[in-house]
Amino acid sequence: MSESRVTGDMTLLDIVRIHPATETVFRSRDDQAGECLLCRALFETVEAAAERYGLDLDELLADLDRAAGLSSD
């Protein structure tokens, strides 16, 4: 696979810019975060946002890869 996976050091903005389909993954976490992730954490890394909002980083990255079409499953 030529495209690289989504990583924890990428910002939410970069991920959505490169892989627009990932927006739904972030939106699906808004309730758990208690606010709109793309509104409040757009310039944060995925790792920082996951820590700040108590999200499971590994699960989030896997869901982002799937939405971006980068998952092998």
Alpha-carbon gap, residue 46 to 44, rounded angstroms: 6
pLDDT at residue number 3: 64
pLDDT in tens, 21-37: 999 999 999 999 999 99
Phi, psi of 54 (to 5 degrees): 70, 35
pLDDT at residue number 60: 98
| Mean pLDDT, the chain cut into blocks of 10 residues (73 residues total) | 79 97 98 97 98 98 96 67
Alpha-carbon gap, residue 28 to 3, rounded angstroms: 24
| Overall pTM surpassing 0.85 (yes/no) | yes
Provide the token pair at 10: 């990428």
Closest CA to 33 of 51, 16, 20, 45: 51
Domain count, the chain: 1
Question: Domain residues for 17?
Answer: 12-67
